[in-house]
């Protein structure tokens, strides 16, 4: 079960919480659905079929994770995205959490 960082930021839009990876990697992402963290993608987790497909889409086709997620969202008509912390923000607090987020549904990837 991966460890995540739940950070509260003060932004121009008010206080916002973001679930983040403890170590930022281009091959891993937390995918939000309807502004809630729902899925965890790890392109090097070759034990999970969904992550193997994402490995092929991201690494095999040299695409950015954000671009692949956008295409999946459009194709399946779902509101998913990788949220980024706004440029103008101040970290107020954080806590580490162990969460068991599932990978993306396989039927979205086919």
**With contact defined as beta carbons under 8 Å apart, do 104 and 37 qualify?**
no
Where residue 110 falls among pLDDT bands split at 50, 70, 90? confident
Q: Convert the pLDDT of each residue in 5-14 to its tens digit.
A: 999 999 999 9
- pLDDT above 80: residue 1: no
**pTM for this one?**
0.92
- pLDDT above 90: residue 67: yes
Cβ atoms within 10 A of the Cβ of 55, count? 18
Q: Which one-letter DSSP state was computed for residue 88?
A: S
Distance CA 87, CA 65 (A): 20
Distance CA 16, CA 14 (A): 6
- pLDDT above 90: residue 77: yes
Domains of the chain, residue spans: 3-109
**With contact defined as beta carbons under 8 Å apart, do 88 and 11 qualify?**
yes
């Amino acid at each position: 079960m991966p460890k995540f960082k739940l950070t509260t930021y003060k932004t121009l839009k008010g206080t916002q919480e973001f679930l983040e990876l403890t170590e930022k990697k281009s091959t891993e992402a937390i995918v939000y659905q309807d502004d809630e963290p729902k899925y965890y993608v790890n392109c090097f987790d070759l034990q999970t079929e969904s992550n193997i497909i994402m490995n092929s889409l991201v690494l095999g086709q040299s695409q950015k994770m954000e671009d692949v997620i956008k295409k999946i969202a459009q194709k399946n008509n779902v509101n998913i995205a990788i949220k980024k912390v706004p440029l103008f923000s101040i970290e107020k607090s954080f806590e580490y959490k162990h969460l068991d987020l599932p990978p993306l549904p396989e039927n979205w990837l086919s």
